[in-house]
Amino acid sequence: MNKELTIEALVKKNKDVISFVDDELARLEVPNSVRVEMVTVAEEIFLNIANYAYEDGQGDATVRMEIDEDKRTITLSFIDSGKEFDPLAKEDPDIYLPIEERPIGGLGILMVKKMMDSVSYYREDDKNHLTVTKKWA
């Protein structure tokens, strides 16, 4: 099953992304713990696109959901035409440093990497593609 949502990359559209992901996972009776993780990750990634991808604040984001019920995997791909940015290229922040010594940024993608089974990024045709996959039992 594949579904896709293309939406303006605006913070106020976040609720539409959350509903898109959560409604489909609820329909498939995906366990609540997995739904919460998928929604949290979708929100984090979409808000980063909305806040940082487009310098002029104008642009779209596509959220593509692929669900393989046989393999019990959920894959979300986030595609935008914003400035090139590979969130996986940056080293993970040291979460053991005192808070005042930590550089700003990086905690969101670290959370995404910890919650998902796989996370990948590539740039093609002037578009960023960030893909996350989660298996449910």
What domains sit in the chain, N to C, each tagged with a CATH number?
2-135 (3.30.565.10)
Query: How much is the pTM?
Result: 0.89
Reduce the secondary structure of the chain to three states and give it as a string.
CEEEEEEECCHHHHHHHHHHHHHHHHHCCCCHHHHHHHHHHHHHHHHHHHHHHCCCCCCEEEEEEEEECCCCEEEEEEEECCCCCCCCCCCCCCCCCCHHHCCCCCHHHHHHHHHCCEEEEEEECCEEEEEEEEECC
Confidence category of residue 98, pLDDT binned at 50, 70, 90: low
Report the percentage of the chain scoring pLDDT > 90. Answer: 73
Give the pLDDT score at 105: 59
